[in-house]
């Protein structure tokens, strides 16, 4: 089966759903199986957490420095300021992720609204 095997409107969605499921669920099941056997302080788990954190940071940095869509019309300084304000709110707000996201998005949204005025 290929992506273009069927001409039905639903086939690409089903293909992506099945492909995404097969590609990720094996690793999820393996992680659950092995996760109970590995100590939280083990070097292997620390390495996995470091890699996962680094990947998330890289994706966020990529969105800030090389955005697409409507975000690409905003100045780099505004995107950096919104990310910094969100991180500061996260720290001040008791390290709650939701607080950081809401504040970062609010700063970015208000900045985007104020841009035509500036």
- Phi and psi for 114 in degrees, rounded to 5? -80, -15
Predicted local distance difference test score (pLDDT) of residue 92: 97
Predicted local distance difference test score (pLDDT) of residue 9: 86
Predicted local distance difference test score (pLDDT) of residue 14: 87
Predicted local distance difference test score (pLDDT) of residue 58: 96
Kindly state the tokens that stand for 3.
């992506």
Residues written for the chain: 118
Predicted local distance difference test score (pLDDT) of residue 41: 85
Predicted local distance difference test score (pLDDT) of residue 52: 92
Predicted local distance difference test score (pLDDT) of residue 3: 66
Is-contact 38 45, C-beta < 8 A? yes
Hey, where are the domains in the chain?
9-38, 39-114
Task: Report, as ranges of residue numbers, the positions in the chain whose pLDDT lies below 70.
Answer: 1, 3, 117-118
Predicted local distance difference test score (pLDDT) of residue 1: 64
* DSSP state, residue 72: G
- pTM equals 0.66
Predicted local distance difference test score (pLDDT) of residue 8: 85
């Amino acid at each position: 089966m290929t992506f273009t095997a069927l001409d039905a409107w639903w086939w690409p969605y089903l293909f992506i759903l099945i492909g995404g499921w097969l590609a990720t669920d094996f690793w999820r099941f393996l992680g659950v199986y092995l996760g109970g056997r590995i100590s939280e302080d083990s070097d292997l788990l620390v390495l996995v957490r470091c890699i996962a954190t680094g990947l998330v940071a890289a994706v966020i940095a990529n969105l800030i420095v090389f955005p697409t869509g409507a975000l690409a019309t905003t100045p780099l300084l505004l995107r950096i300021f919104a990310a910094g304000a969100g991180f500061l709110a996260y720290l001040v707000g008791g390290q709650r992720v939701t607080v950081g996201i809401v504040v970062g998005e609010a700063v970015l949204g208000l900045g985007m609204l104020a841009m035509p005025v500036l």
